[in-house]
Amino acid sequence: MKTFKRYLPFLITAAAFAVFYVIFREQGKKALDITAYSLKEMLLVIPPIFLLLGLLDVWVPRQTMVKFMGEGSGLKGIVLAFLLGSAAAGPLYGAFPVASVFMKKGVKFSNIMIFIGAWSTTKIPMLLFEITSLGAKFALTRLLIDIPGIIMIAFALTGLISRQEKERIFANAMDSVPVAKEKNDRQP
């Protein structure tokens, strides 16, 4: 029953899509083509992300992540979150498994929010595309506005979300993907 409840939204969506396809055949075919394209894109993006997550999990000890991006990391944690998010490739849904591993490794909540914001807004390939398409002045102006905006949003979210809610979010992350056991690994 628990498994059924978990997949109930998917089953409802699939049933609604089937009804839509029967009633509106042409639009249903277009929707099916778009869904197939998106699924193909996801299947090409997700495996490399999970491979990199596995390497991050095994190669980077928890203590190192806490030192550089944890509670006492300060400015270096913010800068590192920006650099990791900006250097990322792929759609935004790829950031969430990475954020989950970051949570398991003890990364500070605000740095995770900055990482997700940087992934969605300040990616280096996107900046290069904007420079060539829209000009350097536009691209750099947008970047200079986005950086403080991301930081303000991250700290606002961190302040607005209760400690209990953050603990729940971190607990959900702990349950989602297993992390390699490390020697002397202490939970916060």
Which domain-ending residue is among 11, 26, 53? 53
Total domain count for the chain?
Answer: 2
| pLDDT tens, the chain, 188 aa long | 788 888 899 999 999 999 999 999 999 999 999 999 988 988 887 888 888 777 877 788 888 888 999 998 899 999 999 999 998 877 888 889 889 889 989 999 999 999 999 999 998 888 888 999 999 999 999 999 999 999 999 999 999 999 999 999 988 888 765 555 554 444 44
End-to-end CA distance of the chain: 34
Identify whether residues 138 and 156 lie together within a single domain. Answer: yes
Identify whether residues 49 and 64 lie together within a single domain. Answer: no
Identify whether residues 41 and 72 lie together within a single domain. Answer: no
Domain that holds residue 43: 1-53
What does the angle CA 63 – CA 68 – CA 72 come to, to the nearest 5 degrees?
90
DSSP assigned state of 90 = S
Identify whether residues 86 and 178 lie together within a single domain. Answer: yes
Identify whether residues 167 and 118 lie together within a single domain. Answer: yes
Identify whether residues 33 and 115 lie together within a single domain. Answer: no
